[in-house]
Structure 1
Amino acid sequence: MAAKIETMENDKKQYIVITFGNEQYGIDISYVDNIVRMQKITRVPKAQPYFKGVINLRGEVVPVMSLRLKMGLEDDVFTNTSRIIILKIEQKGVLGIIVDEVKEVVTLGSEEIDKVAHNPKDVKSTFINGIGKNGDDLISLFDISSVVDEKENS
């Protein structure tokens, strides 16, 4: 019996819950390197529209992307809750994504996550690989590899 409980524990993943407007999204915490306050973003010429530019993070130049623009939402409005989440991605290095707010960390087991079907007409759905249920809240879970993919969404 003890072995069964152990496998269920390993099945759980932690997600950082962020918001865009009134929608909640989850980012697998294993990708998150750091969360920093908004700071001056230096524009980079000829970058895709969703790339806001670069920041200097303790001497390291980190590209910063607007997840809102990448998902086809309206542009970011920076408030005192806006944050840049620094993601560490194998083969791609470090990337910052701008979010409206970081809410909390939740732990979800596989039984609390529903897989979603990809809808080619909905740009947002390309970045989501599941819906997590945390109490009464639904959290769209980002597929980080498709979020950081460079290809243009047409």
Structure 2
Amino acid sequence: MKHLLVIVLLFVFQINVAQEDSTRGYKVKVGEQAPDLNFTLLDGTQHTNQSLKGKVVVLQFTASWCVVCRKEMPHLEKEVWQKFKNEDFILIGIDLKEDLKKVERFIAQMKVTYPFTIDEDGAMFESFTLPKAGVTRNIVLDKNGKIIFLSRLYDEKEFAEMIAIIDTELKK
């Protein structure tokens, strides 16, 4: 009986891992409209799905404790934000569940200049991801708020693909 229970548990675990692999931890898909957004940047600017219309948007989910996030952020600053910030574009860093002082130190340490908000309870993150999904995610929205790219972790090839998609979308 114990062996049967172990086999069933392993099978369920493998199904969950396989589902996570195929979705990369997302519950949204490319081609779908972004979930409802309503947040305030650290500078006090309020944003919703409606206020973001007309811009290509990158939502970068991050946290100060995330090593991969720290690796990716200088690339986001230089290769994405500095390249596209004067176009119909916005890159928004979304810190996951950290307090303001910690986030301000994190931004200063990373020397990034793109706008930031704090997802205090993780609700915004969870509107895009499956339960217990890992951070280090970029979500690109077109000018109508539709998801056109989803990334997970930092991979140079995938990062280059994201930049190409942003560039193409801005030229439309």
TM > 0.5 fold call: no
Question: Which structure would you say has the larger RCO, counting Cα contacts within 8 Å and 6 or more residues apart?
Answer: 2
More helix by share: 2
Larger radius of gyration: 2
